[in-house]
């Protein structure tokens, strides 16, 4: 006997599944801008001479900061 499984309902419920840190940051920057991001998440890479590149570099090395960015992204998802 051969069983065939349908993969239709196996979609991940994780809102971060399949999205890169760069995509997350681009959406947040587009929605809030660096000024508001720096107020919402008090980290230097958002407050002093912020760029996408410098923010990505910092967030890739700093787990606690990345977690805060991911949490803000999840909270903001319904507004995008």
- Does 11 map to a domain? no
**Per the domain annotation, does 8 fall within a domain?**
no
- Verdict on whether the full-model pTM lies above 0.85: no
- Taking only the tens place, the pLDDT of each residue in 7-56 is 555 677 889 999 999 999 999 999 999 999 999 999 999 999 999 999 99
Asked if the structure places residue 67 within a domain, the reply is: yes
Assigned domain for 15 exists: no
Position 32 in a domain: yes
Distance CA 14, CA 3 (A): 28
Q: Which of 24, 68, 20 is nearest to 42 (CA)?
A: 68
Is 16 domain-assigned? no
**Number of structural domains in the chain:** 1
Nearest by Cα to 77 from 22, 33, 12, 14: 14
Range of the domain at 46: 21-76
């Amino acid at each position: 006997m051969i069983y065939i499984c349908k993969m239709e309902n196996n979609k991940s419920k994780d809102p971060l599944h399949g999205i890169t840190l760069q995509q997350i940051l681009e959406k947040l920057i587009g929605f809030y801008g660096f000024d508001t991001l720096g107020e919402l998440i008090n980290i230097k890479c958002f407050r002093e001479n912020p760029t996408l590149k410098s923010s990505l570099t910092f967030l890739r090395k700093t787990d606690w900061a990345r977690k805060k960015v991911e949490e803000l992204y999840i909270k903001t998802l319904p507004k995008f």
